[in-house]
């Protein structure tokens, strides 16, 4: 029993993920019905804790908008960090690092160098099993 409790403690979801999921559910009840990818998501094997694409997109955009050099009004899901927002490759690194913190991920260098737009960031994080 003690062993079981110890294991359960370790595999328990972080409190934040649960509250976020609960908040998202409260804010957008049955949002999957309206989502274009809804059907496939409902059948997903990832489980309930996996982030919905809308939520990923929203949080990615809010991270990018809060970047000091970025004019929030120009940020859309399609913007390219360097071509459209006038950022340089160092800013690009900073944004990807900020996304890591937002979603509690560690993105390896090889992947991080490829994430150069909101679109790619959303895709990458949405497909990442550990994003929370």
Question: Any catalytic annotation for residue 88?
Answer: yes
> Looking at 88, 91, 109, 113, which residue is catalytic?
88
Q: What angle do CA 31, 39, 127 make, to 5 degrees?
A: 85
Minimum CB distance to other proteins, residue 92 (Å) = 8
Q: Which residues bind other proteins (CB under 8 A)?
A: 80, 82-83, 88-90, 92-94, 97, 101, 109, 112-114, 116-117
Q: Which is nearer to other proteins, 52 or 112 (CB)?
A: 112
Task: Provide, rounded to whole angstroms, the least separation between the CB of residue 68 and other proteins.
Answer: 11
Question: Hey, how many other C-beta atoms are within 10 angstroms of the C-beta on 1?
Answer: 5
């Amino acid at each position: 029993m003690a062993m079981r409790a110890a294991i359960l403690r370790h595999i328990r979801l972080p409190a934040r993920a649960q509250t976020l999921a609960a908040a998202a559910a409260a804010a957008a009840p049955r949002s999957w019905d309206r989502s274009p990818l809804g059907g496939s998501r409902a059948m997903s094997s990832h489980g309930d804790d996996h982030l919905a694409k809308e939520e990923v997109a929203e949080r990615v955009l809010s991270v990018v908008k809060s970047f000091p050099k970025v004019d929030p009004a120009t940020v859309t899901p399609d913007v390219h960090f360097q071509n459209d927002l006038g950022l340089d490759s160092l800013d690009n690194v900073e944004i990807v690092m900020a996304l890591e913190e937002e979603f509690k991920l560690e993105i390896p260098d090889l992947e991080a160098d490829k994430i150069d737009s909101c679109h790619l960031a959303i895709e990458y994080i949405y497909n990442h099993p550990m994003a929370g």
